[in-house]
């Protein structure tokens, strides 16, 4: 049986025009806010990971530039 995420009540500040338009259109402001927040969290985590691993990524790219891609001779589809 799937579990639903625990919800927590919070207060947010929205522009009156956007809130009125959302209500008029019957949009679920809580669900939209939660989805937007989840997307922002994913993006922030990805950016943090990229910053934290930038040195290793640069080293790997430099190695590939010098030595080529591992197992390149076994690659079936070659784009040249």
Is the distance from CB of 37 to CB of 27 less than 8 angstroms?
Answer: no
Q: What is the pLDDT of residues 24-70, one digit of tens each?
A: 999 999 999 999 999 999 999 999 999 999 999 999 999 999 998 88
DSSP secondary structure letter of residue 73: G
Q: Which helix (H) or strand (E) holds 42?
A: helix 29-52
Segments making up each domain of the chain, as ranges? 42-80
pTM: 0.70
**Distance, CA of 27 to CA of 9 (rounded, Å):** 18
With residue 58 as reference, give the H or E element that holds it: helix 54-67
Helix (H, G, I), strand (E, B) or coil at 70: coil
Residue with tokens 């010098």: 66
- Residue pLDDT, tens place only, 66-75: 998 888 888 7
């Amino acid at each position: 049986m799937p579990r639903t995420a625990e919800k927590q009540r919070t207060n947010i500040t929205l522009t009156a025009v956007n809130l009125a338009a959302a209500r008029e259109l019957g949009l679920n402001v809580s669900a939209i806010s939660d989805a937007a927040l989840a997307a922002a969290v994913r993006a922030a985590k990805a950016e943090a990971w990229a910053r934290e691993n930038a040195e290793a990524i640069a080293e790997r790219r430099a190695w590939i530039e010098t030595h080529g891609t591992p197992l390149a001779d076994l690659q079936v589809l070659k784009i040249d």
